[in-house]
Amino acid sequence: MPNPICPLCDRPIPEGAKQSLHHLTPKLKGGKGGPTVLLHHICHKEIHARLTEAELARSYNTVEALRAEPGLAKFIAWVRKRPPEFLSKTVGGRRKR
């Protein structure tokens, strides 16, 4: 069975690589039970480092919108050059909700 593909960066998520489910609408903003996507852990961390829960719920509740966000687009271009199992610390802290 092939590895799943991260919809944010389009790289495969190999078995054993850190991964996590992202709620497209944050649970705290009504997204409990809503659609989720499986992402590399580093991609998921970057989303939450750049965007607040309110921003995610209001403007970035699709993969397409996330990919179009300028800061995430720059991150995606950078991380695509890394191996699929690549993991590093996310720059900056988590934004306030």
Mean pLDDT in residue range 18-26: 95
- pTM of the model as a whole: 0.87
Q: Distance (Å, rounded) from C-alpha 64 to C-alpha 9?
A: 11
Does residue 77 register a pLDDT over 70? yes
